[in-house]
Amino acid sequence: KALPRLGVTRLSIRGQSFVDAKLRALGAPYSAEDLRDTIHRVQAVGVESVSLDLMFGGPNPSLSAWKDSLQRAVDLRVPHITLHEIGADSSPQHDDEAQADRFAFALRILGAKGYEPYELTHFARPGHRSRYQEHVYAHGNVLGLGPGAESFWWPDRTTPSTAERWANVPDVAAYVERLRDDEAPVARRESLDRPALAREYILLRLHTKEGLDLNVLHDRYDCPLRREKSATLNRLTTEGLIHDDPARIRLTDRGRLLADAITQRLMPEA
């Protein structure tokens, strides 16, 4: 009850699933009923925007269980839903086609219920987009505080030739010790040049509903993508995978299912 009084307007819940068997398989220490009760409690105290994480895939995935979780989230009127795929890199039984079917089903059911797919895996009802996610996908500065937190920073946005990325040490004791010794608690740091930043910007923007602004890519990142990838853009348009406007590229619904492959086809030479 204190959350709204403290100014909290948004809360993210890593729910994973509304199917008990799925929760047990994922090692969750709660039941589907516990998850529903938590959402009801948060809504009852007046938190304006609830974001729910749902997972699909993994060992012995069930399409009916996935459908059930999506429908229950919609019925609970959760205004923001983020989808996570399990096991894409590690499972020898990973079925790309089945996973694509599950994602396509989520696009259909959430779209029909008024959820906007404003980013590849983020769906929001009007007024409930995550401002943080939009800032990240706009390649904005992010300062991460605390153990394990990651940061991204442009030293000078007026002449964006380089940017820095770093991550803090994940261990709490080591983090505190570094601060006590007046040392930066940084575990790793990298400097990104303009070509690397251009590739990152392409990846980020193709995942968004608004798409990739070719003028920004050319002017800010010195990347003439239309000139370099003209034939590829024409093929992707013919294949029905992108909308190619004069100054903007956006994925079609079919293209969203193949976002990673399309991104690789559009990446400029290193």
Domains, the chain, ordered by start: 2-130 (3.80.30.20), 136-194 (no CATH), 196-266 (1.10.10.920)
In this prediction the pTM is: 0.87
Report residue 59 CA to chain centroid gap.
23
Tokens of 56: 């699909």
Cβ proximity of 54 and 121 under 8 Å: no
pLDDT of residue 101: 83
pLDDT truncated to tens, each residue of the chain (270 aa)?
Answer: 788 888 888 999 999 999 998 899 889 999 999 999 999 999 999 888 999 999 987 765 678 888 889 999 999 999 999 999 886 544 444 456 777 888 888 999 999 999 999 999 999 999 999 999 999 999 999 999 999 999 999 988 666 689 999 999 999 999 999 999 999 999 999 999 999 999 999 999 999 999 999 999 999 999 999 999 999 999 999 999 999 998 999 999 999 989 999 999 999 876
SS3 content of the chain, % helix, strand, coil (to 5): 45, 25, 35
pLDDT of residue 90: 47
Residue bearing tokens 């920004």 = 216
Tokens of 131: 């401002």
Q: What strand order describes the sheet that includes 122-124?
A: 10-16, 49-57, 80-86, 122-124, 116-119
**Distances from the Cα of 91 to the Cαs of 43, 60, 67, 121, in angstroms?**
36, 11, 22, 21
pLDDT of residue 270: 64
Comparing C-alpha atoms, which of 248, 247, 267 is closest to residue 259?
Answer: 267
